[in-house]
Chains A and B, each alone.
Chain A
């Protein structure tokens, strides 16, 4: 009887334990899987953006600078979405930094994110003092978009160019172990 009770209590704990992890696990999963098109647009000046350019947590960050009015950017955007989908949960984060003009956030950017159901993280950068912040992203950047930064801890590569999906994946592969 006594032994049975212990087993019973133990089982109870186990169930509680499992339930606890299920809840926490679900929470984490849902947090990771929030899609950009379901969220409010986050808007930052460059000081606010910097943390997205130097998160040294062992994850690979693929950071793309784009705008809805930039045709080659819009063309390659599906490749970044595909990369996000294909490498989800594999320590690869995709961040799409929009350089759309602030007066276009409501009329262009937000509808664009919703219509295209963008899933990767989208944030807007509103900072007109470009000569100060462009070199901080990368000293070689002349300022044209599209431009992409890929980094993992202290290793960084910067691309002032358009990508195909295979080119983008090749660039990412250099960061995968």
Chain B
């Protein structure tokens, strides 16, 4: 009798816990865009509506407000179903918005317990809304298009690892600055154009997709990435290109501070496969291979140098060089380091090993 009373009591208490959300009775936002126009913020949400069977149709909601905080509540006032942000995969910022600073939005995302750490953030050239509209159109018709595109490029191509967690890591951490993927509208498509660089939460510059391969290698992500190099033929006086696929790369930093100018030596070792090469380059012959290799090494060295000059000029540190120096020096001081950031003498040393040329010759 006592036991039954006990169970009944518990059941009574459980009736309070009716905190459920049924999948087809909520509107699951999968991508969200932020823009600013004439001082007004515009929020764009893209969500799938489930029609018959597995077919989904992307839909778009937009709203504008004078603050970023109430964009999602305002979206609710246009939606028949409650809006759920738990499945949010990508947040896209318009270029204007990103220049004004994305800190507020990112902080609120970081505080929101429903949002996963693997959420992708990105910057769009022009309007975020326009790009999201393209992905919702008939040709693409995919609510997850942009987030899948980013993830695919991280896994297999030139994009270094990034997501909400890494953005916050780079944003809060001393001696490093965050970066995000950068999208551009190309006709009826959206194209990944490279990396957008941030300084204190503001968009300040960008790196193209070719150089983002270098960023990836310099961040010590060992695998994947494609890099195209120029090789000139002395005899024919013509310029052609070689396409390199990174199989395994490693970069090592060395910090020396003797005399006035601090020196940062970067040794990069790339083990690569050659994907495409011009016909005059007879690959299997040893001396041409050596020639190509040396060419590549020199080319990458100058590219790294140029890239670093660009970072210095923009005063950003996406590679976390400050953090590296911190791990080498006691009582490292952030301000002191960045005061002489521009003075650092960067010496890249590149070594390329060609370990595959494919199955044909």
Partners in one complex: no
